[in-house]
C-alpha cells in the first residue's frame, strides 16, 4: 500500500469507532474483507511486498484495525474473511494467513471461507480453517443462477445448499448467508437451520417451512415440496446468466432458456392446486406470492421460448415489483418489464456515452465500463463472471444503452 495509506485507513476507522460509541452503538463483530473491496500488491513502508495480499498485507492491516477497534470496544470480536483467496490456486494466501494467525495468537477470533460456487479446498484438505480458529461460511444464497437476482421470484435451492453443507458440516461453527432480498427467504431458513443443528437436512427444513408459513395439510406440504424441487431443477436454465445480458426492454429473450416444459407445467399445477387450499391470509402473504409468481414466470417463459410478453408474465413481474417496492430499484435486483423499449431508444443506439438516456442514473461508471470494454477483453470477461455482462458488441451493466 502506498506511503500513508495505512495511516489514512487507521485514522478513518478510529473516527468510525468513535462515532459508533458516541451514538451508543455497540460493535460486537468486526469483519475484514480481502477482495471485492480492494487489495494491494505494492511494497509496504518497510520495503517488503504486501503480496500475496491475503497472506501478508491484508492480515497485517486487519490486525492493526482489530487492535484499534478493541481500544473502543474491548469485547469486539474480529472475523477475517478469505473471500477470493488463492486465485490462482497456487497464490498461497490460505497457507500464509494460517502462518500469520499462528504467529500472532489472539489477533483474530474467527475466519470465514466460501465462494460463489464450491467451498474452497484448503480448509477441506486441512480439516480446519486458517490458524485453527473457529471457521464461518458465507453461502451465496442470492446472486447465483439468474440475473436480475430475485427478478423471477423465489429462488429456493435446497439441493444446492444441502450439497454444499455436507462436506463442511463438521468444520463450520456458524456463518453469514449473503442476502440480497426476500426472494431467498427459504434459503436463509435452510442455512440457519444447518447452523442450529448440522445433522438436519435441507429437505426437512423445506417441510417445516411449508408447515409454518403455508399449511400443515399433508397434501399441501407434499405438493409444495415437489414444486420447489422442480423449480430448483429449472433455476439455472432460465434467465440472464453470468455470461449474458437479459435486456427485455429491447425485446431480447432471456438467456440460457432450456427448461423442461413438463417441469414448468407440473410445478405451476402443483402450486395452483395448493393455492386453493390455503387461507386468504397465506394466499396474500409475500412468501406465497413470490413462490407462485416464480412458477407462473417459469411456465410463461417456457411457453414464449424466453420472450417476456403477454399479460400473464407482465402481471407476475409487476407483482414482484410491488412486493419488493422495486419501482425505482437498480436493475440488477429489479424484475424485468417488457413495456418500455421506446423509452430506451433501443433501435437507435447512441454514438457516445453522454447521449444515453439512462447514463444520468449511472454517473461515472458508464465511461469507465466503456473504456474497459474497448481496451481489455480479459477484464471484460472478468466483469462478466462477476455479474456484469457482455452481449455481442454491446456492454451492459444493468439496462440497455452501454454501447461502444
Q: List, as one string, the DSSP characters of 136-186.
A: EE--B-SSSSSBSTTTTS----HHHHHHHHTTTTTTEEEE--B--SGGGHH
- Residue 122 CA to residue 92 CA, distance in Å, equals 10
What pLDDT is recorded for position 181? Answer: 94
Residues paired with 111 in a beta bridge: 80, 135
Looking only at the bridges linking them, the beta strands covering 172-175 and 110-113 are: unpaired
- Cell numbers for 282: 397465506
- Alpha carbons 145 and 155: distance in angstroms, whole number: 9
Q: What is the pLDDT of residue 43?
A: 63
Q: Residue holding cell 456463518? A: 175
- Backbone torsions φ then ψ of 108, nearest 5 degrees: -130, 165
Instruction: Give the SS3 label for residue 229.
Output: helix
Q: Can you tell me the distance from the alpha carbon of 213 to that of 288, in angstroms, rounded to the nearest whole number?
A: 8
Give the integer Cα–Cα distance in Å for 34 and 363: 26
| Joined grid coordinates for residue 104 | 500472532
Q: What is the DSSP string of 263-323?
A: HHHHHHHHHHHHHTTS-HHHHTSHHHHHHHHHHHHHHHHHHTTT---SHHHHHHHHHHHHH
DSSP state of 85: -
Other beta carbons within 10 angstroms of residue 370's beta carbon come to 17
H/E stretch holding 135: strand 135-137
The confidence score (pLDDT) of residue 2 equals 66
Compute how many other C-beta atoms are within 10 angstroms of the C-beta atom of residue 274: 26
Give Cα 51 distance to the centre of its chain: 27
Residues 119 and 141: their CA atoms lie apart, in Å, by 13
pLDDT digits (tens), the chain, 404 positions: 666 888 999 999 999 999 999 999 999 999 999 998 777 766 666 666 778 999 999 999 999 999 999 999 999 999 999 999 998 888 899 999 999 999 999 999 999 999 989 999 999 999 999 999 999 999 999 998 888 888 999 999 999 999 999 999 999 999 999 999 999 999 999 999 999 999 999 999 999 999 999 999 999 999 999 999 999 998 875 544 333 334 343 344 444 444 557 899 999 999 999 999 999 999 999 999 999 999 999 999 888 877 777 899 999 999 999 999 999 888 778 888 764 433 433 333 333 334 333 433 333 344 434 444 444 444 444 433 333 333 322 333 333 333 33
Where does residue 133 rank: exposed (0-12), middle (13-18), buried (19+ CB within 10 A)? buried
The DSSP code for 26 is -
d(CA 299, CA 54): 45
Measured in whole angstroms, how far is the alpha carbon of residue 23 from the centre of its chain? 31
Cα dihedral 367→372→373→374 (10° resolution)? 90
Question: For cell 451492459, what's the residue?
Answer: 396
Note if the bond before 140 is cis, omega within 30 degrees: no
pTM attached to this predicted model:
0.80
Cα–Cα distance, 248 to 212 (Å, whole number): 36
Interior angle at CA 309, CA 303 and CA 314, nearest 5 = 105
> Can you give the pLDDT at residue 41?
66
Q: Could you tell me if 329 and 148 are in contact, meaning their C-beta atoms sit under 8 angstroms apart?
A: no
Interstrand relation of 389-391 and 394-396 (parallel, antiparallel or unpaired): antiparallel
Tally of residues, the chain: 404
All three cell numbers of 75: 469485547
E strands along 36-123, which residues?
77-81, 110-113
pLDDT value at residue 305: 76
Cα–Cα distance measured from residue 199 to residue 210, given in angstroms and rounded to the nearest whole number: 20
Amino acid at each position: 500500500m502506498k506511503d500513508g495509506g495505512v495511516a489514512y485507513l487507521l485514522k478513518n476507522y478510529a473516527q468510525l469507532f468513535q462515532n459508533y460509541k458516541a451514538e451508543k452503538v455497540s460493535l460486537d463483530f468486526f469483519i475484514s474483507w480481502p477482495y471485492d473491496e480492494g487489495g494491494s500488491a505494492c511494497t509496504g513502508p518497510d520495503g517488503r511486498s504486501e503480496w500475496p495480499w491475503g497472506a501478508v498485507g491484508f492480515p497485517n492491516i486487519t490486525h492493526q484495525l482489530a487492535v484499534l477497534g478493541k481500544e473502543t470496544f474491548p469485547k469486539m470480536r474480529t472475523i477475517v474473511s478469505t473471500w477470493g483467496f488463492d486465485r490462482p490456486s497456487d497464490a498461497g494466501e490460505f497457507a500464509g494467513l494460517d502462518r500469520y494467525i499462528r504467529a500472532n495468537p489472539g489477533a483474530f477470533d474467527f475466519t470465514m471461507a466460501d465462494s460463489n460456487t464450491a467451498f474452497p479446498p484448503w480448509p477441506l484438505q486441512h480439516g480446519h480453517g486458517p490458524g485453527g480458529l473457529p471457521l464461518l461460511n458465507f453461502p451465496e444464497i442470492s446472486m447465483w443462477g439468474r440475473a436480475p437476482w430475485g427478478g423471477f421470484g423465489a429462488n429456493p435451492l435446497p439441493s444446492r445448499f444441502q450439497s454444499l453443507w455436507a462436506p463442511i458440516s463438521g468444520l463450520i461453527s456458524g456463518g453469514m448467508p449473503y442476502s440480497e432480498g426476500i426472494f431467498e427467504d427459504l434459503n436463509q431458513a435452510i442455512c440457519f437451520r444447518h447452523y442450529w443443528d448440522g445433522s438436519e437436512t435441507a429437505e426437512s427444513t423445506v417441510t417445516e417451512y411449508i408447515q409454518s408459513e403455508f399449511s400443515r395439510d399433508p397434501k399441501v406440504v407434499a405438493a409444495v415440496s415437489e414444486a420447489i424441487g422442480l423449480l430448483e431443477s429449472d433455476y439455472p436454465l432460465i434467465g440472464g446468466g453470468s455470461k449474458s445480458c437479459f435486456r427485455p426492454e429491447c425485446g431480447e429473450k432471456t438467456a440460457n432458456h432450456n427448461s423442461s416444459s413438463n417441469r414448468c407445467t407440473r410445478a405451476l399445477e402443483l402450486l395452483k392446486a395448493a393455492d386453493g387450499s390455503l387461507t386468504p391470509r397465506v394466499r396474500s402473504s409475500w412468501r406465497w406470492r413470490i413462490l407462485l409468481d416464480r412458477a407462473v414466470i417459469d411456465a410463461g417463459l417456457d411457453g414464449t421460448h424466453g420472450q417476456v410478453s403477454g399479460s400473464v408474465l407482465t402481471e407476475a413481474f409487476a407483482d414482484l415489483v410491488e412486493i419488493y417496492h422495486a419501482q425505482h430499484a437498480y436493475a440488477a435486483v429489479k424484475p424485468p418489464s417488457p413495456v418500455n423499449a421506446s423509452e430506451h431508444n433501443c433501435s437507435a443506439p447512441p454514438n457516445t456515452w453522454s447521449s444515453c438516456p439512462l447514463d444520468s442514473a449511472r454517473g461515472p461508471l458508464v465511461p469507465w465500463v466503456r473504456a474497459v470494454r474497448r481496451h481489455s477483453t480479459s477484464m471484460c470477461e472478468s466483469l462478466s463472471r462477476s455479474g456484469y455482462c457482455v452481449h455481442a458488441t454491446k456492454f451492459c451493466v444493468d439496462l440497455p444503452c452501454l454501447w461502444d
